[in-house]
A and B are shown apart, each in its own frame.
Chain A
Amino acid sequence: MHSSSAQQRYNRRVLWLAIAYATLLLPTAYLLKLQLVSGPLAVLLAALPAIPFCGFFWMMGRYLSEETDEYVRMVQVRLLLAVTGLLLAAMTLWGFLELFGFVPHIAASWWPVLWVVGCSTAACIQRLRARTDQ
Chain B
Amino acid sequence: MINRLKALRAERGWSQQELAERLDISRQSVIAIETGRYDPSLPLAFRIAELFQLSIEDIFTSPSAAGRVQS
A41 interfacial contact with B, CB 8 Å: no
Task: Give residues 34-64 of B contacting A (CB, 8 Å).
Answer: 35, 38, 40-41, 44
Among A63-71, A101-109, A110-118, the stretch that binds chain B is: A63-71
Q: How large is the interface on B (under 10, 10 to 19, 20 to 34, 35 or more residues)?
A: 10 to 19
Distance of A74 from chain B, by nearest CB (Å): 7
Would A134 and B31 be within 8 Å (CB), given that A71-B38, A74-B38 are in contact?
yes
Answer yes or no: A36 CB below 8 A from chain B CBs. Answer: no
Judge if B8 is at the interface, Cβ distance under 8 Å.
no
Interface band, chain A? 10 to 19
Which chain A residues have a beta carbon within 8 Å of chain B's beta carbons?
A: 1-2, 4, 68-72, 74, 130, 133-134
Binding site for A on B (CB under 8 A): 16, 24-29, 31-33, 35, 38, 40-41, 44
